[in-house]
Amino acid sequence: MTATAAQARETAAPVSEPTISPWLTFMFAAACGLVAANLYYGQPLAGPISRELGFSPAATGLIVTLTQIGYGLGLLLIVPLGDLLENRRLVLVLTVVSAIALIGASVSTTPGIFLLASLCIGLSSVAVQVLVPFAANMAPDASRGRVVGNVMSGLLCGIMLARPFASFVAEASSWQTVYIVSAVVMIVLAVILRAVLPTRVPQAKLHYGQLLASMGHLAIHSRVLQRRALYQACLFGAFSLFWTTSPLLLASPAFGLSQNGIALFALAGAAGAIASPIAGRLADRGLTQIATTLAMLLGMGSFLLSHFATSGSLSALLLLTAAAILLDFGVTTNLVCGQRAIYGLSPEHRSRLNGLFMATFFAGGAFGSAIGGWAFATGGWTLTAWIGFCFPTVALLFFATELRRR
């Protein structure tokens, strides 16, 4: 990797072989899951929030969009600070800000205040993307994939369980309760992390402007980052398309599921999180190419299978559930393989590499959600599933050029 003048000024002090205990790995995973869940509470609660706070129909989508925008900005502007600032302190500050933002959302009385809180929830939730490279830095090379996979399994569980949790709590109490409970969890989490996280001071000696400039250099010159980000953008686009449109299919007259029924369906998707540690172990054994190919084939197969799941029968529901699990397995496997690859590029740049990687595939997810809504409204599930099939297919074709070059 070519170094810029700014990067040349970074120094790396010799350190002993890093280690991370199973207990600390579990704490990283739990923290990632609990924080990441904050990003997704608003999706099933958009309706009741909109009615109570007086959002116009056109503005209701901003409830989710502002959180996504905040997260995207945080990936590019805050996550790189993990290469510059003491990691433990940065995580604690972001976790406390998240608690404050969640309280702000729960007491909002106007759309403007709620949207500002949503933006701050997204910004502060990038704490998870500081924690993942933090854990990677603590792991020895031989087991880094396994550690990253275990941490990512916690993050993915948080993502998949957030929607059903929010639905169940809101139906039993109110949407404000969801945000209050999560704020309390963030405060408790900050106390625990303060006690268990070690201090990690990066070796980089850059100003913030130089830090951001170096990200442009990494994005232009790192082929591994470029390819891995593109692969995951395609698969995460398929993931977002599926989970944006499958609730519409399940709520349609064909299936007629209630909100709680859709929430239970979402729980099945959490099964994909078990692929994360498996993928990490495969990557540690040098089987990244095999795991990546399998991930893309699983993504393609899930959408082919879903074509037979539109009749509304019990068997159709089971097929759709199987498709969801296969897709989540594929997306998770490719994600862990991608992170294992980019974290091996340069220890001094891991937070910046992670920020670029996440921002790229997050954009792919946003595109998948947008085109999924259009496809379902235009051609129903048939068109939606074929477009979803195209995402992992493009990734596989591009990956084939990498294999041919090697």
Q: What is the pLDDT of residue 58?
A: 64
- What does the chain come to in residues? 406
Q: What is the pLDDT of residue 9?
A: 44
- 313 and 378 inside one domain: yes
- 208 and 242 inside one domain: no
Cβ–Cβ < 8 Å for 56, 179: no
Cβ–Cβ < 8 Å for 29, 156: no
Q: Which of 190, 212, 234 is the last residue of a domain?
A: 212
Residue 7 in any domain: the answer is no
The amino acid that residue 144 corresponds to is R
- 173 and 293 inside one domain: no
Q: What is the pLDDT of residue 124?
A: 95
Rounded Cα distance, 201 and 55, in Å: 44
Cβ–Cβ < 8 Å for 232, 357: yes
Of residues 378, 386, 336, the one with CA closest to residue 228: 336
Local confidence band at 248 (pLDDT 50, 70, 90 cut-offs): confident
Q: Which residue has the tokens 């302190």?
A: 89
- 140 and 239 inside one domain: no
302: domain CATH number is: 1.20.1250.20
- 193 and 276 inside one domain: no
Average pLDDT of the residues in 64-81: 85
DSSP 199: P
Q: Which of 162, 186, 212 is the last residue of a domain?
A: 212
Q: Which of 155, 190, 212 is the last residue of a domain?
A: 212
Rounded Cα distance, 229 and 231, in Å: 6
- 303 and 344 inside one domain: yes
Residue 14 in any domain: the answer is no
The amino acid that residue 271 corresponds to is A
Local confidence band at 207 (pLDDT 50, 70, 90 cut-offs): confident
User: Got the DSSP string for 209-235?
Assistant: HHHHHHHHHHHHH-HHHHHHHHHHHHH
Q: What is the pLDDT of residue 204?
A: 67
Q: With a cut of 90, say whether residue 158 has pLDDT above it.
A: no
Local confidence band at 12 (pLDDT 50, 70, 90 cut-offs): very low
Rounded Cα distance, 37 and 183, in Å: 12
Rounded Cα distance, 403 and 331, in Å: 20
- 42 and 128 inside one domain: yes
Per mean pLDDT, which range of 52-61, 95-104, 228-237, 387-396 is the poorest? 52-61
Q: With a cut of 90, say whether residue 114 has pLDDT above it.
A: yes
pTM for the model stands at: 0.76
Residue 9 in any domain: the answer is no
Rounded Cα distance, 166 and 253, in Å: 24
- 259 and 333 inside one domain: yes
pLDDT tens for each residue of 159-181: 878 888 888 888 888 899 999 99
Per mean pLDDT, which range of 33-42, 296-305, 349-358 is the poorest? 349-358
Structural domains in the chain (count): 2
Q: With a cut of 50, say whether residue 16 has pLDDT above it.
A: no
Average pLDDT of the residues in 154-162: 84
Return the H-helix or E-strand segment holding 80: none
Q: Which domain holds residue 112?
A: 20-212
- 125 and 231 inside one domain: no
- 157 and 234 inside one domain: no
- 87 and 50 inside one domain: yes
DSSP 16: P
